[in-house]
Amino acid sequence: MTRTTPSSPVGLHRVLEPAGVLPQAARRLDAGPDLWPDEIRIRVERLNLDAASFRQLSEKHHGDGDAVRAEVLAIITERGKMQNPVTGSGGMLVGTVEEVGPKAHLDFVPGDQITTLVSLSLTPLQITDDLRRWDGRSEQVPCDGTAILFGRTIAAKVPDDLPADLSMAVMDVAGAPALTARVVRRYVADDRPPTVAVVGGAGKSGSLSLAAARQAGATRTVGVVPTQAEVDLLAGVGLADEVVLADARDPVNLSTAVHQALGTPADVTVVCVDVPGCEHGAILATNPDGGTVIFFSMATSFTAAALGAEGLAADVTMLVGNGYTPGHAEEAFELLRTVAGVRQLFERRLAHGGAA
């Protein structure tokens, strides 16, 4: 059944409250399966909760998977979308196209397997199996249900040559390598090929960002990780020129580690760790005379970043990590195909239930 009231390409017609905000800012969405003419309905197979959200839920419930599952189900039922009320973040999903509205723009047909390229925090979602196949202990949530793509929502077909869970894990963070590459290329174009530090270099967005930085022309890359096990892991796959151990929440520790690895502060620092309190270390680790910090962590505090840089008299450009850059999905898939170290880290992560 197709609905006949007017629809908005950005989904305003699905917002139940408060009126007038975009779906991402809404408290509740209409997640009903009947389509407006420009929408597409997806049969959902799996959710991928974003790292900051899953960590918050897991810590809140002390690792009790049943409690985590119950809370995720309650959130989706109440809000009509999966948006962690503490972190504000969501994740994304993989599923199969079930119905395409007559005025939908995306070139999909029923049966296509796709991943969304927008956050679950704005995607209308209904769960029909009570998440009973999920143990609450991993970011990847097998499930049955329906989700809606608006007229302007973007999504990507799962490539034939990649497993669906791998595709979804990559798509969740596809914005990071694309924006990192763009920033590095800008420095290269200005005749200042940059050094690049990636904080959280062994994680999903971090490993992709390291690979993208190198391909885009970084002169030297350093991956920062929080444990010796991750040092060994990241060093073993050869994605970074240097791998260093540091606590990203300790500004002096982090900046000293980067300075020592590179001999100078980094020209570009990419923050990919999902814990709060990394802003000041990242700024201190970065060239205070024209460096750039890209914040991809959903745990980033805007105020801490803005006032921290000012307090340090650091002339650094600070970017909010936009999850969308044109072509980002294909670029990320290509990194997964062509850079062995990236694929090794992703497959290892999936085998371990999504943990970093």
Interface positions with its own copies (CB under 8 A)? 10, 12, 20-25, 87-90, 117-119, 121-122, 152-154, 175, 250-253, 277, 280, 284, 295, 298, 300-326
Nearer to its own copies, 87 or 221 (CB): 87
Contact 24, 152 (CB under 8 A): no
Nearer to its own copies, 233 or 299 (CB): 299
Minimum CB–partner distance for residue 25 and its own copies (Å) = 6
219: which DSSP letter? S
Nearer to its own copies, 90 or 136 (CB): 90
Regarding beta strands 40-49 and 91-100, do their DSSP bridges make them parallel or antiparallel, or are they unpaired? Answer: antiparallel
For the residues of 90-141, what is the DSSP string, one character each? Answer: -EEEEEEEEEE-TT--S---TT-EEEESS-GGGS-EEESSTTTT--SSSSEE
> How far apart are alpha carbons 240 and 234 in whole angstroms?
8
Minimum CB–partner distance for residue 311 and its own copies (Å) = 4
Nearer to its own copies, 88 or 142 (CB): 88
Nearer to its own copies, 120 or 234 (CB): 120
Burial 35-58 (b: 16+ CB within 10 A, else e): bbebbbbbbbbbbbbbbbbbbbbb
Strand partners, 116: 155
Minimum CB–partner distance for residue 302 and its own copies (Å) = 4
Minimum CB–partner distance for residue 329 and its own copies (Å) = 11
Q: What angle do CA 241, 243, 246 make, to 5 degrees?
A: 150
Contact 79, 17 (CB under 8 A): no
Nearer to its own copies, 252 or 340 (CB): 252
Minimum CB–partner distance for residue 87 and its own copies (Å) = 7
Q: Which residue matches tokens 């969304």? A: 116
**Is 247 exposed, middle or buried (CB count within 10 Å of its CB: 0-12, 13-18, 19+)?**
middle
Nearer to its own copies, 283 or 345 (CB): 283
Minimum CB–partner distance for residue 186 and its own copies (Å) = 10
Nearer to its own copies, 46 or 81 (CB): 81
Nearer to its own copies, 61 or 105 (CB): 105
> How far apart are alpha carbons 12 and 20 in whole angstroms?
7
Minimum CB–partner distance for residue 304 and its own copies (Å) = 6
Minimum CB–partner distance for residue 313 and its own copies (Å) = 5
- Torsion on CA atoms 61, 62, 67, 73, rounded to nearest 10: 60
Nearer to its own copies, 257 or 316 (CB): 316
Question: Could you tell me the maximum CA-CA distance found in the chain, to the nearest angstrom?
Answer: 63
- What is the H or E stretch that residue 319 is in? strand 315-320
Minimum CB–partner distance for residue 280 and its own copies (Å) = 4
Helices and strands (H, E) in the chain, number of each type: 11, 14
Cβ-proximal residues to 224 (8 Å cutoff; 6+ apart), any chain: 197, 198, 199, 200, 201, 243, 244, 245, 246, 248, 254, 257, 258
Minimum CB–partner distance for residue 296 and its own copies (Å) = 8
